[in-house]
Amino acid sequence: RQRQMCIRDSIGFDVVHEFASEKNRWMRCVLRNNFKVGTLFNDIFCRGDAHLPDVDLYTAGPPCLPRRALPNGLQPFSVACLNDGCTDSLGIVFVRVLQVIDKKRPAAFLIENRVGMKTHHSAFYKFVIKFLQTLKGPGGSKTYKVRARVMNTKVCGGLPQSRPRVYIVGWKRKKEVADFEWPEALRCASLRSVVNIGETGDISALSSASKTTKANLTLALQSWLADPVLVAKADKVCCAQFVSKV
C-alpha cells in the first residue's frame, strides 16, 4: 500500500506491486487513484493464498492486536481461534499474514504492529518470532533470519510524531549478501514543516481537524513554549496563537 511509495523513495527504484488486501472501500479508491496497484482484494479471509503471485518482498501491517479474549476463552489472534472458525479482524489478520509467509515464502518480509504487541501480548509476540524463525525448507534447514525491534517515527522516521511500533524483518538465508543493519536515526522535521498553520499563525486550516489531532498538537506546542531552547528555534508568536485558539 503506502509502503510501495516509501520503498521506492528510500531505495531509489520502482517497486512492482503485485497484490494487497483492503476491506475499506474508500481506502481501496485511495490506493487505486494514487498508486500503481496490482490485484486488490476486498477481504484477506476470502483470498486463496495458493493463487497469489510469488513476490520478493511481502509487507504487512495487520490491525492492532486487541486487549481482550473471546467468550470461548480463545485469544482473537491464536491459531486455535482461526481453526475454531473465528474471524475477529483485529487479531486473526495477523495469523493470516503468517500463513501467507509460510505458503508463498517471499525472499524477504516486513511486518509492523503497535508496540503493545510486545508489551501486552508477549506470548503471542514470542510465538510469531519463533514461528518465523523455525520455518524450514524441503531439506530441513531454516529458511529465514529474523530480527525485531521497536522503533519510533520521531527517531527513525524523521517525523514530529511519537509513534513507537514493532518491526519484524526476515530474509532468506540463501539470499543474504550483506549483514543486516537497522536504519540510523534521522533528524526530526519541525512540526511547522508538516502542518500548515500559516506564516502569521493562522490555524483556520486546522478547523476541521479531529479533537485528538488538536489535542496532540496543542500538547506538543505547549511543550515547545515551555522549553527556551525549542522556543528559540520556533516561531513563538505562531505557536502561542495556536495554543490559545485551538
Residue 99 and residue 49 in contact, taking contact as beta carbons nearer than 8 Å: yes
Rounded Cα distance between 151 and 182, Å, is: 10
Residue 90 and residue 76 in contact, taking contact as beta carbons nearer than 8 Å: yes
Taking alpha carbons only, the member of 216, 219, 122, 117 closest to residue 164 is: 117
46 is catalytic: no
Q: From the candidates 6, 29, 46, 64, which is the catalytic residue?
A: 64
DSSP for 152-188, written as a single string: EIIIII--SS--EEEEEEEEEGGG--S---PPPP-PP
Rounded Cα distance between 188 and 153, Å, is: 9
CA distances, 53 to each of 36, 48, 237 (Å): 16, 11, 55
- Dihedral of CA 42/43/44/47: which sign? negative
Amino acid at 125: Y
Which residues are part of the catalytic machinery?
A: 64
